[in-house]
Structure 1
């Protein structure tokens, strides 16, 4: 079991964040808010409060799906 964590984006990523994901987080250039690290099937996922979504895929590459991941599926929340 791997435990996630949360930190302000003004702080450096904690040591539990894998190096490739930490590099992508620093490169994301988001301002204000916080990051949340979670784990799904052994893979790290970093979500920013602005909707930025970074994860390491099965090949080991960092992907950035941004905030459009669930935009269409969330319509039921507003209506």
Structure 2
């Protein structure tokens, strides 16, 4: 596995994030509640496994790409990862 980069949820994903994956990340970010107490937002980590990009949020939300390049959102509790 190769470590890619990290960024804060709600920020624009770095250029290293493939567009399909970035689209999935943006969808997850838009669905996350904003903390009224101003707590720091979670962070995303981009890694590459066997040449495929994976973005994982600190809470365990995972965004991958299917064979057609469309984002797939799962959670590490789903048993899929």
Q: Who is 1:34 aligned against?
A: 43
SS for the counterpart of 1:26 is helix
Alignment partners' CA distance in 2, 1:68 and 1:2: 23
Within-5 A mapping of 1:30-69: 30=32, 32-69=41-78
Alpha-carbon distance in 2 for matches of 1:16, 1:47 = 15
The aligned length equals: 70
Give the number of the structure whose residues are more often strand, by fraction: 2
Structure number with higher relative contact order (C-alpha < 8 Å, ≥ 6 residues apart) = 2
User: Does the residue aligned with 1:68 lie in a helix, a strand or coil?
Assistant: helix
Specify the alignment match of 2:25 in structure 1: 25
Does 2:14 correspond to 1:5? no
Shift of 1:2: 5.8
Select the structure of larger CA radius of gyration. 1
Considering only aligned residues, what root-mean-square deviation do their CA atoms show, in Å? 2.0
SS at match of 2:11: coil
